[in-house]
């Protein structure tokens, strides 16, 4: 019997193939073109690939297939929505990357030195960030579409490895950035090991690595099988690390603080969509039959995550660390959508991921604008009276904080309302109560920052608010308008999501 090539549905795989193809072209550009022309070419390739991929996702809406890549990749409504969300968030992240001077010179150049000046003059900028970002985007798009454990692991590594490198690219926070990259890499390696360990036990339980095979084994066998429980717990550790859930959150504040702010924005927004997309598929499609085995564990993790993120954020004095703990709390809120295990839970999770992602991109875009002579200013004490210097920037930042807090007329309120409603309807009262209390705690530190910015007299300081350039300005305004629009008129978007919120089994 001769070799038979695998049957691939290139039309269904087109969005991912475009991104991976552009990433490879970016590597070739990096290797062979002059340093002086690489930056605009890499940006054009990256933005073009994202827009083209997004158009292919739109073309595929309404379609579904499980045979796109020999049953290893599934394309259905939730996958297409999450891929579209990842691409939109990545488009804004690329604009921030292009706009920020964190990549203006090589990481080895000391700020203000002749070495930095020579790097700027010669055009030796860190353009490798563009193909790295594209590889990460490709991995994020594949992660929620993976239909077996092997493809899941490959996608996890493809999205993670570029992020480890990108976290260490900040020349202005060189030591913090290197520390962030090292911590992220080491803890990421441990989480990947747990993921593989869990995959091996699930294969031992089901005799199959496909999600459909595992679902069949779960439905036909005992829900308390030791191999199944160990496999679910270990696999969950790998996934919970990627979303920054407690007690697997220790990397999050250090990496968010040390990484270049555009990379932090990209990680905080897009990685959550990909990781929760994979988690929703695994537990809704494959392990739903064993819900009574994993539900108590996830309930405890969700409550712990919400409490840890909300409480520890109060003590933070660095704006990026505060947003990191805010991100941890939001991971807990999103876990309630997984626990709900119903159609409304899936729909609410998709809305929450999109609304949280766009507000996160906008908030970190604003963080890049508050500066002094050495770069970005993260110390909250130096943000006091910011509204006196720049009322517009202070107002925009307050809007995003209010959305994170879940205040009415913002997208965050609709997101929390829908996801808590889904959890309540599924009988998970304890998670809803913990979520509401955590939201109240979180509102305290968000409003405290707003009071510092608006109602506290500014101190004599060298902090300035730079005028946002075109890309950053565009990102901030679109994020602000979307946050308000989804809070005031959420019905059309929720109806749009409802057309996607059905898994293909």
Q: Is residue 3 a part of any domain in this protein?
A: no
Q: What pLDDT is recorded for position 34?
A: 85
Among residues 120, 100, 189, the alpha carbon closest in space to that of 153 is found at: 189
Quick: pLDDT tens for 106-159: 333 444 444 444 444 434 467 899 999 999 999 999 999 999 999 999 999 999
For residues 424 and 117, the model is more confident at 424
Q: Is residue 504 a part of any domain in this protein?
A: no
Contact between residue 479 and residue 361 where contact means Cβ atoms under 8 Å apart:
yes
Q: Is residue 321 a part of any domain in this protein?
A: yes
Q: Across all residues in the chain, what is the average pLDDT?
A: 88
pLDDT over 80 (residue 259): yes
Which tokens belong to 354?
Answer: 């999109």
Q: Is residue 50 a part of any domain in this protein?
A: yes
pLDDT over 90 (residue 3): no
Phi and psi torsions of 164, nearest 5°:
-60, -40
Q: Is residue 333 a part of any domain in this protein?
A: yes
Q: Where is average pLDDT lowest: 90-94, 217-221, 423-427?
A: 217-221
pTM over 0.85: yes
The share of the chain scoring above pLDDT 90, in percent, equals 67
Q: What pLDDT is recorded for position 460?
A: 64
Q: DSSP readout, 384-450? A: TTHHHH-HHHHHHHHHHHHHHHT-TTSHHHHHHHHHHHHHHHTT-HHHHHHHHHHHHHHHHHHHHHH
* Structural domain count, the chain: 1
**Confidence label for 464 from pLDDT (cuts 50, 70 and 90):** confident
Q: Is residue 505 a part of any domain in this protein?
A: no
Domain that holds residue 215: 10-498
Determine the Cα–Cα distance for residues 26 and 138; give it in Å rounded to an integer: 13
Determine the Cα–Cα distance for residues 379 and 461; give it in Å rounded to an integer: 12
Q: Is residue 35 a part of any domain in this protein?
A: yes
Q: Is residue 5 a part of any domain in this protein?
A: no
């Amino acid at each position: 019997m001769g070799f038979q090539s695998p049957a691939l549905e290139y039309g269904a795989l087109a969005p991912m193939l475009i991104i991976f193809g552009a990433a490879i072209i970016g590597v070739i550009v990096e290797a062979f073109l002059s340093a002086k022309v690489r930056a605009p070419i890499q940006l054009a390739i990256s933005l073009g690939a994202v827009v083209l991929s997004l158009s292919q996702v739109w073309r595929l809406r309404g379609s579904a297939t499980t045979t796109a890549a020999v049953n290893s990749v599934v394309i259905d409504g939730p996958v297409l929505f999450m891929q579209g969300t990842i691409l939109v968030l990545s488009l804004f992240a690329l604009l921030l990357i292009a706009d920020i001077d964190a990549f203006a010179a090589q990481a080895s150049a000391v700020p203000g030195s002749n070495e930095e000046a020579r790097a700027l003059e010669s055009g030796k900028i860190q353009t490798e960030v563009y193909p790295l970002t594209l590889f990460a985007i490709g991995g994020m798009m594949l992660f929620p579409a993976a239909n077996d454990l092997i493809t899941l692991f490959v996608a996890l590594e493809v999205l993670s490895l570029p992020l480890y490198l990108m976290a260490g690219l900040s020349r202005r926070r060189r030591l913090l950035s290197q520390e962030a990259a090292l911590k992220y890499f080491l803890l990421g390696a441990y989480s990947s090991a747990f993921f593989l360990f869990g995959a091996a036990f699930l294969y031992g339980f089901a005799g199959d690595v496909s999600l459909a095979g595992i679902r069949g084994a779960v439905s036909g066998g005992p829900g308390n099988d030791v191999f199944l429980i160990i496999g679910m717990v270990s696999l969950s550790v790998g996934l919970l690390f990627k979303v920054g859930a407690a007690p697997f959150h220790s990397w999050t504040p250090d990496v968010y603080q040390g990484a270049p702010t555009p990379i932090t924005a990209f990680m905080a927004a897009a990685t959550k969509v990909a990781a929760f997309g994979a988690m929703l598929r695994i537990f809704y499609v494959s392990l739903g039959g064993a819900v009574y085995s994993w539900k108590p564990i996830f309930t405890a993790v969700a409550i712990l995550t919400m409490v840890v993120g909300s409480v520890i954020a109060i003590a933070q004095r660095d704006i990026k660390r505060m947003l990191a703990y805010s991100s941890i709390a939001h991971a807990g809120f999103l876990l309630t959508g997984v626990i709900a295990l119903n159609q409304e839970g899936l729909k609410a999770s998709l809305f929450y991921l999109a609304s949280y992602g766009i507000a996160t991109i906008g908030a970190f875009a604003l963080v890049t604008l508050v500066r002094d002579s050495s770069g970005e200013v993260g110390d909250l004490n130096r943000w006091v009276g910011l509204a006196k210097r720049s009322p517009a920037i202070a107002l925009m930042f307050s809007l995003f904080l209010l959305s994170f807090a879940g205040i009415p007329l913002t997208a965050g309120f609709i997101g929390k309302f829908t996801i808590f409603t889904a959890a309540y309807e599924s009988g998970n009262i304890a998670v809803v109560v913990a979520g509401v209390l955590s939201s109240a705690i979180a509102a305290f530190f968000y409003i405290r920052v707003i009071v510092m910015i608006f109602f506290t007299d500014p101190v004599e300081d060298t902090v300035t608010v730079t005028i946002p350039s075109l890309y950053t300005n565009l990102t901030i305004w679109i994020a602000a308008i979307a946050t308000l629009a989804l809070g005031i008129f959420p019905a059309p978007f929720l109806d749009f999501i409802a057309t996607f919120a059905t898994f293909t089994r």
